[in-house]
Amino acid sequence: MPLYEYICQTCGDRFEKLIRGDTSAQQIICPSCASAAIMRALSTFATSGSSAEQASPACGPVG
């Protein structure tokens, strides 16, 4: 289940919501002001981990 970030157009609050497959956009409301005027924010994701080796280059030399 993906975690999405939303911005309330009424109060400006940013919040995250875990979305199940059966959840529609009309069901999502702002937890601060209960407004349904929300917009999904552009989010990035991060990965973590460690490795003893450095990653190899993505491609060889050009030219």
pLDDT at 34: 97
Tokens 């490795």, residue? 51
Question: What does each of the 63 residues of the chain score in pLDDT, given as a tens digit?
Answer: 688 899 999 999 999 998 887 777 678 999 999 999 999 998 666 666 665 666 666 666 666
pLDDT at 30: 97
Percent helix / strand / coil, the chain, rounded to 5: 5, 20, 75
pLDDT at 50: 66
pLDDT at 12: 97
Starting at the edge strand found earlier in the chain, the sheet holding 3-8 runs 14-18, 3-8, 38-40
